[in-house]
Amino acid sequence: MVELQTPHLDAVFHALSDPTRRAMLHRLTIGEHSVSDLATPFRMSLAGASKHIKVLESAGLVRRRIEGRTHLCQLEAARLAEAQQWLSTYEKFWSARLDDLEAILREEDASIAGKPATPPLSNKVGE
């Protein structure tokens, strides 16, 4: 089963379930940021930001290093790969669903155009 290959999924998905934490990760895609830099756009206390960063750290999504009195955070994307690997096993199911939806839409289009969807019959009138 897929689960055996992905022991970190609980923590990774939990970390990603919060919009502030997702936004922090997004910010780290442009480079290393200090904890206070990460806190600024959310108008939250340093303690509040630090709590979110700790969740990201324990999920292995952020690495923190200390430079003097500054804590610098860096994105660690490898665990996101595990999450995507897990999700990819479901791809065929949403693809099938999208194919169904496409078929329904085509049928509706054909119906609006006054043509039966299947089988395609000749519909010439008045000639």
Please report, as ranges, the residues that interact with a second copy according to CB under 8 A.
Answer: 1-3, 9-11, 13-14, 16-19, 22-23, 25-26, 29, 75-78, 80-81, 83-84, 86-88, 90-91, 93-94, 97-98
| DSSP code for 45 | -
17 vs 45, beta carbon nearer a second copy: 17
63 vs 71, beta carbon nearer a second copy: 63
26 vs 115, beta carbon nearer a second copy: 26
Best CA proximity match to 75, nearest among 13, 29, 23: 29
Return all residues near 67 (Cβ < 8 A) that are at least 6 apart. none
* Shortest Å distance, C-beta 37 to a second copy: 17
Let me know: does 20 contact 71? Beta carbons within 8 Å: no
* Shortest Å distance, C-beta 97 to a second copy: 6
Half-sphere exposure of 91 (CA within 13 A, CB side): 6
Best CA proximity match to 75, nearest among 9, 22, 120, 8: 22
* Shortest Å distance, C-beta 88 to a second copy: 7
* Shortest Å distance, C-beta 46 to a second copy: 23
